[in-house]
Amino acid sequence: MIPRPIQHLLLAALHDAFAQWAHPFAFVCRKGCATCCTRSVTMTSLEGDGIMTFLAEGDRLSELAAPAFQPTASRMGRTGQYTTNTFVAAHLRGESVEEADNWDLRPCPFLKEKSCSIYPVRPFGCRLFASLDPCAASGVAEMPPGYLAGATALLQYIEHLDNNGFWGTMVDVLAGLHSGQADGCGEPNAPIPGFLIAPDERTIVEPLLEGLLAMEVEGRPFAQWLQVSRP
Ligand code: SF4
């Protein structure tokens, strides 16, 4: 397993690569719009670890005791849900995959006066949400071709790197990390089984993946760290 501090450096490199790639898209998202900030944002325990450290450094860990951070009753103890990588694996095997239908769309507990109170360490699931059109009224984000395929590939990399970690909603993962009881707070992370990138999306997604895989972190390309994570 890659040491946690290096996993965090790899995560930061991934965030940089994504921000650079997504920069040219004409998204309308602005500070103060929080339509996508719900309790259904998902993440890995690696990202949760970064949030826990951020809260501890700001003497804010007590916030996690608030009722808004209690795991969602309908999801607690549920197992057998898809992570990003097991979802992709099922698709690649040709299985019919049912979308989760119990998302909790109440506001994210980290939302304060329409701004994110953990912005520097928000999970990748928050960073990828974006829309070409204002989505507050419809609730539906308009994304450019290839954007979701590229973002999903990066979600897969994060899950792959967080070997021995787990995946779930942000609220559930934080509850698991805070209590030290991960059982029922997420699903085990899985390795990358392949990608769901359509042929007409490849020219858009390839620069993102190639750029990221070549990035040097602690003297090794990102691609090599992926292999170290899951030999
Ligand atoms: S963590 Fe921040 S960006 Fe993510 S859903 Fe919550 S308030 Fe929004």
Residue 62 has a pLDDT of 96
Q: Give the Cα separation of 93 and 129 in Å (integer).
A: 27
- How far does residue 106's CA lie from ligand 1's centre (Å)? 12
Nearest-CA residue for atom 4 of ligand 1: 126
d(C-alpha 185, C-alpha 166), whole Å: 8
Distances in Å between the alpha carbon of 125 and those of 151, 157, 224, 227? 9, 13, 24, 23
Q: Quick check: CB of 173 below 6 Å from ligand 1? A: no
* Mean pLDDT for the stretch of residues 164-182: 92
Of all residues in the chain, what percent are helix, strand and coil, respectively (each to 5)?
45, 10, 45
Identify the band that residue 80 occupies on the pLDDT scale cut at 50, 70 and 90.
low
Residue 76 confidence (pLDDT) above 70? no
What pLDDT is stored for residue 15 in this prediction? 98
pLDDT band at 25 (very low <50, low <70, confident <90, very high): very high
Please identify, by atom number, the ligand 1 atom nearest to the C-alpha of residue 41: 5
Give the pLDDT confidence score for residue 67 in this predicted structure.
Answer: 92
The whole domain housing 14 covers 4-229
User: Confidence band (pLDDT; 50, 70, 90) for 79?
Assistant: low
CB 115 within 8 A of CB 102: no
Radius of gyration of the chain (CA): 17
pLDDT 10s digits, 190-215: 999 999 999 999 999 999 999 999 99
- pLDDT band, very low/low/confident/very high, at 221 (cuts 50, 70, 90): very high
Whole-number average pLDDT of the chain: 92
Which residues have C-beta within 8 Å of that of residue 138, sequence separation ≥ 6? none
Region of poorest pLDDT, from 4-8, 156-160, 183-187: 183-187
Domain count of the chain? 1
Element (DSSP H or E) covering residue 91: helix 84-92
- Ranges 67-76, 86-95, 178-187: which has the least confidence: 67-76
Query: Which atom of ligand 1 lies closest to the CA of 38?
Result: 5
Structure confidence by residue, pLDDT tens digits, 110-168: 999 989 999 999 999 999 999 999 888 787 899 999 999 999 999 999 999 999 999 99
| Amino acid of residue 138 | S
Determine which helix (DSSP H) or strand (DSSP E) holds 221, and give its type and residue range.
strand 220-221
pLDDT for the residue 77 = 47
Which residue puts its alpha carbon closest to atom 2 of ligand 1? 116
Sign of CA dihedral 178, 12, 27, 21: negative
Summarised one tens digit per residue, pLDDT across range 137-148 is: 787 899 999 999
- In ligand 1, the atom with minimum distance to the C-alpha of 111 is 7
Q: Can you tell me which atom of ligand 1 is nearest the CA of 51?
A: 1
What is the model's pLDDT at position 170?
Answer: 95
Confidence of residue 94 (pLDDT cuts 50, 70, 90): very high
Whether 128 is in the pocket of ligand 1, judged by its Cβ within 6 Å, is no
E runs forming strands in 97-137:
111-112, 115-116
